[in-house]
Chains A and B, each alone.
Chain A
């Protein structure tokens, strides 16, 4: 199975700050990388699919980039409602596998 490693595990940032989360795959995943946001007690919500495509209704402050094994989720200006855990998911190779998550909190 492809291993997905997210960093950092925990991040504290201020409102308005630019935030970057990373996800590294154990092998090339050909940009089949998605990002999810999970707030406490809620279901995961798709933010970005296939590296850089914003899902319906997701604010434009979220963006994604990357290729090969290295991928990034950027929040251009952190908002209070962005407090959540963020997971990456690779869909290049069966079985689909998730990263362990980055927990984002407000400073």
Chain B
């Protein structure tokens, strides 16, 4: 069974940093691109960043470029999102998702809440 479990969220002050993790199991992690998607309170979903299966390529939405870093440790089957210089508008639930070649983002984690506030 495919499982994705996020951790590392919480309350953080503006300008500070936070690192999210996503532990994967039930599939061969290093065969899949992975992504982070966010959902602000009572808002829709927004793609944040994607990393290729081997970590060689990364892509970011403009609003997080230069502040967020997506990475992965294939030996640990874990995906990360390092978030620096956090802003109030980064407040959201962050989901990790598996990217399948044909079916797209086919499995998601349960999400982790990040609140940026003083």
Contact = CB atoms under 8 A, between A and B. Distances in A.
Contact of B108 (A44, A49, A50, A100): A44
Given A42-B110, A95-B47, A55 B103 contact: yes
A87 interface: yes
A43 B110 contact: yes
Interface in A25-74: 34, 36, 42-46, 49-50, 53, 55
Given A100-B44, A101-B44, A89 B104 contact: yes
A94 B59 contact: yes
B46 interface: yes
A53 B100 CA distance: 14
A9 B110 CA distance: 24
Interface residues of A, number: 22
B59 A98 contact: no
Interface residues of B, number: 17
Main secondary structure of the interface of A (DSSP, over half): loop
A7 interface: no
Contacts of B68: none
Interface string A86-107: 0101010011111111000000
A87 B103 contact: no
Contacts of A94: 59
A53 B103 contact: yes
Q: Which of A43, A95, A98, A101 has the most CB of B within 10 A?
A: A43
B103 A99 contact: no
15 contacts: A34-B105, A36-B45, A43-B111, A44-B95, A44-B108, A46-B103, A46-B105, A53-B103, A89-B104, A94-B59, A96-B47, A96-B105, A98-B45, A98-B47, A101-B44
Given A55-B106, A96-B105, 10 more contacts: A42-B110, A43-B110, A44-B108, A49-B106, A50-B103, A50-B104, A55-B103, A89-B105, A91-B104, A95-B61
